[in-house]
Amino acid sequence: MKIVIANESYFKYSQIICDTIEESAKVRGTGIAKRTTEYIEKRLKNGNAILALDGDKFAGFCYIEVWGHEKFVANSGLIVHPDYRGQGLAKQIKKAVFELSRKKFPDAKIFGITTGLAVMKMNYELGYKPVTFSELTDDPEFWKGCQTCKNFDILTRTETKMCLCTGMLYDPHAKKKVEDSNLNTKAFTRLKSIKEQLFLKKKEK
């Protein structure tokens, strides 16, 4: 398995990346924003993406987005092809894109929003902390990227203050604290359940 920094020579994988993201959203039944091949290719071209390849076969992907004049960057679109799931590949990709972000944008705060407990755990192990959406970028273009997510109506109803996703942030300048390295998954599961009951019931009315 190769974990590589992408470039234009990997454009041939753009369609399967888009298809894998879309299929994963259907299977998981969670909010994953769809992406076009043009969108993916732009990230490949500027070297802001990580690809996992089994020989020439696509195995996984994640990309970097830059916001607020490089004050913030997001690691987004983490995906593993169904043939390679359950092997710890997502964690390898996540670590690689995090390290690439730190190298290219050393002073930027790195953030992400997700509904997945597995991604939350990976983020936490890398030094991310749960935060409110107000601590993330206020760039409207970032939130526009959520338009293809099935939960976008929740985000608009709350004026981008809250959604089913949890916001997580890595601040390179924050003082390091000695903390328990284990994420309290029960607390996050409970939080997600409360959000679903709150927002989805309102949607039904």
Helix (H) or strand (E) holding 131: strand 129-131
List the chain domain ranges.
2-204
- Mean pLDDT (the chain) is 86
Q: Tokens 């890398």 belong to which residue?
A: 126
Give the pLDDT confidence of 25-56 residue by residue, as tens digits. Answer: 776 655 556 789 999 999 999 999 999 999 99
Decide: helix, strand or coil at residue 78. strand
pTM over 0.85: no
- DSSP character string of 31-66: ------HHHHHHHHHTT-EEEEEETTEEEEEEEEEE
Q: Which of 196, 190, 129, 128 is nearest to 162 (CA)?
A: 196
152-164 mean pLDDT: 87
Sorting pLDDT into bands at 50, 70 and 90, what band is 165? confident
Q: Which CATH superfamily hosts domain 2-204?
A: Gcn5-related N-acetyltransferase (GNAT) (3.40.630.30)
- Rounded to an integer, what distance in angstroms lies between the CA atom of residue 174 and that of residue 46? 28
pLDDT of residue 193: 74
User: What's the mean pLDDT in 60-89?
Assistant: 92
Q: Is the pLDDT of residue 89 over 90?
A: yes
Rounded to whole angstroms, the Cα distance separating 140 from 161 reads 12
- Number of Cβ atoms within 10 Å of the Cβ of 152: 17
pLDDT tens track for 17-30: 999 988 887 766 55
* pLDDT digit string, tens, across residues 91-148: 999 999 999 999 999 999 999 888 888 888 899 999 999 999 999 988 888 888 788 7
